[in-house]
Amino acid sequence: MTTRPEALPTPALKRARQLAMYERASKTLPGGTDSNFRAWGTDTIYVDRGKGGLVWDIDGNEYIDLRLGYGPVILGHGDDRVDDYVNERMRRGVSFSLTSEDEVLVGELVKELNPWLGQVRMTVSGTEATMHAMRIARAYTGRTKIVKFEGQYHGVHDYALISVLPNDVSELGDMDNPVGLAWGRGIPQAVADTVIPARYNALDVLRRIFERDGRDIAGVIIEPVLGNAQGILPRPGFHEAIRALTREFGALLIFDEVKTGFRFARGGAAEFFGITPDLATYAKAMGNGYPAAAFGGTTEVMSVLPDKVSHGGTYAGNRVAAAAAVKTLTIIKETDALETVKATGLRVQTGLREVLERRGIAHVFTGHATMFGIMFTEQVPTEYRDWANSDHDLYDAVATGMHARGAMPEPDSREPWFFCEAHAQGDIADRVVTIFEDALDAALDQRAGGAPDQLPRDAERHHLAREAEMLGDGQG
């Protein structure tokens, strides 16, 4: 390993107001937040505002935001183009449980950007979108079972929370016969039994599943990249083989494009990989942070609506979400926003690669330049189980060290870094690389000082909180 510079001292973040807010919030909100994923104990961050590629917490600490709300903010926080349009439209009223022209425009734009789609409906969240897509697949085929892949996250309804994020991958069972692992209590076994887990990029396992249960399989739902394991990419031909296998057995292919849609390309991962699914789900980037979501499919598959399948929602297609989607999708369609996001991600990757190579640290970039991960490993990962073999403790230490220095990736090695159009502004990309370098050196110094497996205080707490969610406090 080459000689590396001595790490700079870790800056001290201001935390007084956030600690007080944590104590206050914990009396009302479980864990002090409205989501388990944001509950980081006394290190929980309480945000004040965001603009462009930056966010500020209530203590005034500034961060380059590499989480972007887990991906929705494709243009930047507080994008004036989107916000001005939403503000103008919402003055006409927000929620009618009647259909507005904005909703029709959203459907037309989603179809225009994804020409394989026949029909589309809006909903409120990615969770609802995948729930409805699974229901449509079961209704259309008359079958009950859905195949999903280990480590993939499709929302928080019961049918999605199987084999999602165990820290101990041995709990997933034999590599040739994965077991369904319910993530959290309260999921009826009868529901869990309708979901069949498979290993991402393992076609032999998937074929055996179809040969065993093919007559009962309604569909395969898949994130085109393994989004909850830093965006692990498919092996060449993987998606093509799944497409062929589902057609062979009369099942549907569902692309969960909640993370990849309108981010990987204007037509999402379906365009990027050149695959035509039967159904797809969208959310996140389609609204630049507003709670907009949609699901759609071929005209034939979607023909089960409205007469044969239940779908509704008081807030589905509400004026705020629809207006945000209209403007965001129009910008994505008519400008080079996605090209800018990709170029920024590639620029950051180049800088990170130079930093890591100077220190002789084995690493692999996963995913797409607009949404990528960094795994400290020599082997190119192909599935969730490979995450366990990477040096994710070092990654967690670096990520939380970056927080203290003014950049905020998710402090969990499974979540990718997200980029938005506003990250191209000023010196943000260069600052990300510098902050990463300083945090890396600090983590390496700590490890060299005799605590190779010890994480910084906040990283360790966050890691244990996630583990508790999946073990004592999460699994029944």
Q: Determine the Cα–Cα distance for residues 284 and 429; give it in Å rounded to an integer.
A: 23
Q: How far is CA 204 from CA 46, 196, 209, 242, in A?
A: 46, 15, 9, 11
Q: Determine the Cα–Cα distance for residues 245 and 270; give it in Å rounded to an integer.
A: 17
Instruction: Please name every residue paired with 77 in a beta bridge, in sequence order, or none if there are none.
Output: 52
Between β-strands 217-222 and 252-256, what pairing exists: parallel, antiparallel or unpaired?
parallel
Handedness of CA 373, 379, 382, 388 (dihedral sign): negative
Reduce the secondary structure of 206-218 to three states and give it as a string: HHHHHHHHHHHEE
Handedness of CA 462, 378, 240, 344 (dihedral sign): positive
In degrees rounded to 5, what are phi and psi of residue 270? -60, -45
Q: Determine the Cα–Cα distance for residues 396 and 394; give it in Å rounded to an integer.
A: 5
Residues catalogued as catalytic = 153, 256, 284
Contact by Cβ (8 Å): 292, 78: no
